[in-house]
Amino acid sequence: MLTTSTELFKKAIAGKYAIGAFNVNNLEIIQGIMEGAKEKQSPVILQVSAGARKYAGSLYLRRLIEAAAEGNPEIPIVFHLDHGEDFEVCKDCIDNGFTSVMIDGSKHSYEDNVALTKKVVDYAHSKGVVVEGELGRLEGMEDNIKVEAGQGSYTDPQQALDFVKKTGVDSLAVAIGTSHGAYKFAMDANPKLDFERCQAISDLVKIPLVLHGASSVLQNFVEEINAYGGAVKGSKGVPEAMISEATKHGVAKVNIDTDIRLAMTAATRKSLKENPDNFDVRKFLGAARTAVTEMVKHKIDILGSAGKI
Sheet holding 179-180, edge to edge: 145-147, 139-142, 179-180
Please answer whether residues 69 and 100 qualify as being in contact, where contact means their C-beta atoms are separated by less than 8 angstroms.
no
Catalytic residues: 82
